[in-house]
Amino acid sequence: MKHIAVIGAGTMGNGIAHTFAQSGFHVNLIDVNEIALDKGLTTIEKNLDRLIAKSVITETQKANTLNLIALYTDISEGAKEADLVVEAATEQTDLKLKIFKQLSNISAEDTILATNTSSISITQIAAVTEHPERVIGMHFMNPVPIMKLVEVIRGYNTSNAVTKTIMELSRTLGKDPVEVNDYPGFVANRILMPMLNEAIETLYNGVAGVNEIDTVMKLGMAHPMGPLQLADFIGLDVCLSILNVMYDGFKNPKYAPCPLLINMVRAGKLGIKSGEGFYDYSSSKKAEQVANQFLK
């Protein structure tokens, strides 16, 4: 396996592309938006510079990594010869189904199709393809170049061979893969998102303020970042989407998103990406400080 296609140049997509390229794979980074591609490549360069500053990699390794990344706006051109395609588009079911149906038509029969979805059913995504046995979940954590975990999610039809290949490939990237089964939220978000939602409920009910809630969890539970700040980092729209998937999947009210979260997303207060969430990130220095908490 030498050629990787990554669909989506956002936070997760550029992080996945960075990680594969740094490990010596040829990567086609695909996005319909040229501005998003340029921004994604700039982010990769900045993150490589952070690694140089920490003496993790050299300037030569940075140059080699960037040379292995090619940019495409046409999915047919960018993905047609890939050994593995990793989809990292927006967390919307209809969009992912559309992408996988297209991939099924343009990819070779032995190409593995992976999705970085954090909650959507792998089985549902695989059902729109010609070879559902070759579809699998490969859920990286943010920031991808730093975080060790990869949730490897088997769909109902995912083959043992494909699962084994992705587990081994994840280890090649320096990650620690964990195999899980296909249920809404998988493991990471099934546990994490209700905690974040409960923190938002605690704020909504007036139990304590933003700083107080986050301080309790950081000092009392040894979390590196408080739950409200973490929700900002993930993106409040992403948190809402994941909670909705779990609520729809389980029909259990404990997964229902807090009204405060819903209203903040409607108002465009999405966290770091919009410059404001539970905290104010209008200063680029403040946003950089938050990002660096994960990059230490």
Q: Which CATH number is 46's domain given?
A: 3.40.50.720
Same domain for 172 and 111: yes
Which residue's entry shows tokens 């999405």? 270
pLDDT for residue 210: 98
Statement to judge: residues 127 and 263 lie in one domain = no
Residues 6+ apart with CB under 8 A from 75: 7, 30, 32, 99, 102, 103, 106
3-state SS assignment for residue 154: strand
**76 shares a domain with 172:** yes
Domain that residue 132 falls in: 3-181
Are 172 and 210 within one domain? no
In this prediction, residue 287 carries a pLDDT of: 57
- Does 86 share its domain with 211? no
What pLDDT shows up at residue 1? 86
Per-residue pLDDT of the chain (296 residues; tens, 9 = 90+): 899 999 999 999 999 999 999 999 999 999 999 999 999 999 999 999 999 999 999 999 999 999 999 999 999 999 999 999 999 999 999 999 999 999 999 999 899 999 999 999 999 999 999 999 999 999 999 999 999 999 999 999 999 999 999 999 999 999 999 999 999 999 999 999 999 999 999 999 999 999 999 999 999 999 999 999 999 999 999 999 999 999 999 999 999 999 999 999 999 999 999 999 999 998 766 556 655 555 55
Q: How far is CA 124 from CA 85, 91, 94, 185, 255, in A?
A: 17, 14, 11, 14, 20
- Dihedral sign for Cα atoms in the order 201, 207, 213, 217: negative
The pLDDT value recorded for residue 288 is 60
User: Residues 173, 246: one domain?
Assistant: no
- Helix (H/G/I), strand (E/B), else coil: 176: strand
* Residues tagged active-site: 118, 139, 151, 189
Q: Mark whether 71 and 211 lie in a shared domain.
A: no
Q: Based on the fold, state whether residues 222 and 140 are members of the same structural domain.
A: no
* Count of domains observed in the chain: 2
Contact 250, 189 (CB under 8 A): no
Residues making up the binding site for NAD(+) = 8-13, 31, 91, 96, 118, 142, 273
19 shares its domain with 104 = yes
Burial grade of 97 (CB within 10 A; 0-12, 13-18, 19 or more): middle
Helix runs in 26-58, H state only: 34-53
pLDDT of residue 289: 61
Whether residue 9 is contained in a domain is answered as yes
d(CA 40, CA 17): 9
Same domain? 50 vs 157: yes
pTM over 0.75: yes
Of the candidates 237, 271, 239, the residue with the CA atom closest to the CA atom of residue 255 = 239
3-state helix, strand and coil shares in percent for the chain, rounded to the nearest 5: 55, 15, 30
In a domain, 83, yes or no: yes
The answer to the question of residue 296 being in a domain is no
Separation in Å, CA 33 to CA 9, 11, 59: 9, 14, 29
Taking CA atoms, 257 is separated from 184, 260, 279, in Å, by: 15, 8, 19
Instruction: Identify whether the C-beta of residue 204 lies closer than 8 Å to the C-beta of residue 260.
Output: yes
Question: Which CATH number belongs to the domain containing residue 203 in this structure?
Answer: 1.10.1040.10
pLDDT at site 283: 76
Boundary (domain end) residue, out of 181, 209, 227:
181
Q: Which helix (H) or strand (E) holds 114?
A: strand 112-115
Instruction: Return the biggest CA–CA distance within the chain.
Output: 55
Asked whether residue 137 falls in the same domain as residue 32, the answer is yes
